[in-house]
Amino acid sequence: MSFFSIPHGVYRTHDKDSDTGFTPETMIDMLFNYKAFLNTNDNESGSIASKGPNTVKRIAIIGSGAAGLVAAYELSKIDNIEVTIYEAGDRLGGRMDSIVIPDGSLNNKIFEMGCMRFPPTSHTLYHYLDKFNLKPVPNFPDPGVVETKLLYENQVINWPAGESTPDNADFKRIGNDFSNMLTCVLGSASQPNIVNPNKLFDFWAIYQAEPTAKTKQNVVNAWQLIINQYSTTTYFEAVYKLAQNTSIVTTPWTQEDMNKFGALGVGSGGFGPLYNVNFVEILRLFANGWEDNQELLLTGIISLVDAFCEAIADKVSIRLNCKVTQIDEFDNNQYSMSINADGGARCTEQYDSIIVATTTRAMEYMGLTIDGIKNSKGVLQGPPAILSKEPKEAIRNLHLMNSSKYFVTTTSKFWYAVNNNTGENLPFNMQTDELMRGLYCLNYDADLANGKPNTEGKGVVLISYVWGDDSTKLLALSEEERFQQFIIAIKAINPTFALLLEQQAEKTQLIDWENTSNFYGAFKLNYPGQEQDNHSAFFQYQAQKQGVFLAGDSVSWAGGWLEGAMPTGVNAACAAAARVGATIAENSPLTDIAATMYKYDNPPANETYSRTQEADSPVKQTNTHKKDKILEV
């Protein structure tokens, strides 16, 4: 259930039986089935390599976030490979960052400072959750999933639980229009047209049902058209243009409509601060299904970090408080790393291969974009550059988004009627155009799967979750100043809620990711024109001439999602293992994701897109519109 009924009930439940629409098993930019690859090769007896190197080889992993842990776990199962993780911070997990607050005999309460809601289309993530027997529960309290109130231009608008749009004619119109835009660009995943395929979802559904080279090429062609059309366009520009087309929208959108849409956003919150992001990045969200049916882990994402740690404990060395400051190449393609350990001790270590699994900004601070020192004639004096030109450019260019969160525990879950004296439930979610933007009431005792919340124990309220400029606005405010600002908006929405929150607030915690050491940003979201950088960064792992491999959500096709980070950990593990002499299992990301599949650079301006592909659908074709264009928007 998303803010604007995306697109016409698209997707998607984890429960295949009740799912009538199309749910992608791969991500559009890779079309590689990580789950299948891992299921085949990541069982108790198997690993991503069918054979380890002949002699012992050493691989270092810089960063213990999702990508680093996945890489460590996969490498730890290969014979003759010794793995060491270097982590600059004092804990493992990176942006998998749960602060755990005990609550007597009840479940611990969790502040998820980083990732917190997980769409079941995160197939790699769910592979590991399943493996470690961790079961997320459905119905993360997103807007419209639970009782929600909107505060827009000082007007409170109701949004009943289970309704796809807020209770307001304008917002309903905007919501339906946006659904139409997405359907127009991507097609309908809930009802892909496999008889007369014309849009991405139609071709993708056909390919998934019957994977052949030809059906795959049709998907590639459809996404390529979208890349060509939108890779240099902002989200704002694209939506505004689409919103002037009366064959898509009810009436052309005004600036005020854009403001409404930006303030209240799509599914998971206000998307206005993302207006400058490349439209292709936003389309990925919907193509890959990340905005749908999000789930939460009652034990916190920390439980996944713990599970990885337990699994690798005997096999992998872990060095906390060890910041890598430089990587150099020396004789025989060996690498040396300079490390600043806690307390100021410095040392150098040597490795056969290195995986750098940090944000791109952390990579920049590690010196990965700097060439060796040149003399006055331009001749390299120091060691050669570790990376080639394109990934270096990508590291410098790729845009990281800001994000801030502010959590509070409360002595009770006062939003439930039984815990307040109003006789009714208070809002569980608030969205506003004011500073706090998004508020979420979280119940870590809830048996949400059965719809029977346990109303006892402490509450957790994420009183503000913001991105981009909204996060920058808050940077200079102290914790107390922020609280007071947020309370003003909350009071305007529901004075009782504000009063109880003030009375019951216990522990608080905030984070500004752009201002946090070793991260320097929340997540990658490309600006227009950065698709090619994304390509260079992502496919760097296939550069076997080098022994240093990049990983993490910053170099992925899904910045801001674990499902971005984790596959890059698999890629880098395959690359590093191959580099040191292991034989990688068949059909791996080394061989089965082609860097040439899409062209992300120099999109032809205003190209007219004739449909050249002929779909070989499993269903008999009755296509009478062979000359139709895709994406006539």
Binding site for ligand FAD (CB under 6 A): 62-68, 86-89, 94-96, 114-118, 122, 323-324, 357-359, 362, 366, 403, 405, 513, 518-519, 522-523, 552-553, 560-562, 564-565
The strand ranges marked E within 80-232 are: 81-86, 98-103, 106-112, 148-152, 155-159
| Residue 567 CB, nearest approach to ligand FAD (Å) | 11
Cis-peptide into 12, omega within 30 deg: yes
Question: Of 187 and 269, which CB lies nearer to ligand FAD in the complex structure?
Answer: 269
Nearest to 517 by CA among 144, 63, 57: 63
| Residue 609 CB, nearest approach to ligand FAD (Å) | 32
Question: Of 260 and 482, which CB lies nearer to ligand FAD in the complex structure?
Answer: 482
Kind and range of the H or E run holding 507: strand 505-512
Rounded to a whole number of angstroms, the CA Rg of the chain reads 25
Question: Of 210 and 349, which CB lies nearer to ligand FAD in the complex structure?
Answer: 349
Nearest to 201 by CA among 3, 9, 1, 17: 9
Question: Of 224 and 338, which CB lies nearer to ligand FAD in the complex structure?
Answer: 338
- Full 3-state SS string of 428-485: CEEEECCCCCEEEEECCCCEHHHCECCCCCCEEEEEEEEEHHHHHHHCCCCHHHHHHH
Do the Cβ atoms of 128 and 297 come closer than 8 Å?
Answer: no
CA–CA gap between residue 535 and residue 155 (Å, rounded): 44
Question: Of 7 and 569, which CB lies nearer to ligand FAD in the complex structure?
Answer: 569
| Residue 432 CB, nearest approach to ligand FAD (Å) | 19
Question: Of 76 and 613, which CB lies nearer to ligand FAD in the complex structure?
Answer: 76
Do the Cβ atoms of 62 and 326 come closer than 8 Å?
Answer: no
| Residue 303 CB, nearest approach to ligand FAD (Å) | 14
Question: Of 65 and 438, which CB lies nearer to ligand FAD in the complex structure?
Answer: 65
CA–CA gap between residue 16 and residue 20 (Å, rounded): 8
| Residue 542 CB, nearest approach to ligand FAD (Å) | 18
Question: Of 6 and 357, which CB lies nearer to ligand FAD in the complex structure?
Answer: 357
Helix, strand, coil share (%) of the chain residues, nearest 5: 35, 20, 45
In this structure, is the dihedral angle defined by the CA atoms of residues 235, 238, 244 and 248, taken in order, positive or negative?
negative
| Residue 535 CB, nearest approach to ligand FAD (Å) | 18
Question: Of 327 and 501, which CB lies nearer to ligand FAD in the complex structure?
Answer: 327
| Residue 74 CB, nearest approach to ligand FAD (Å) | 14
| Residue 434 CB, nearest approach to ligand FAD (Å) | 19
Q: Beginning with the edge strand found earlier in the chain, give each strand of the sheet holding 57-62 in spatial order.
A: 316-319, 81-86, 57-62, 353-356, 548-550
Nearest to 328 by CA among 261, 288, 373: 373
Nearest to 552 by CA among 130, 456, 561: 561
| Residue 79 CB, nearest approach to ligand FAD (Å) | 25
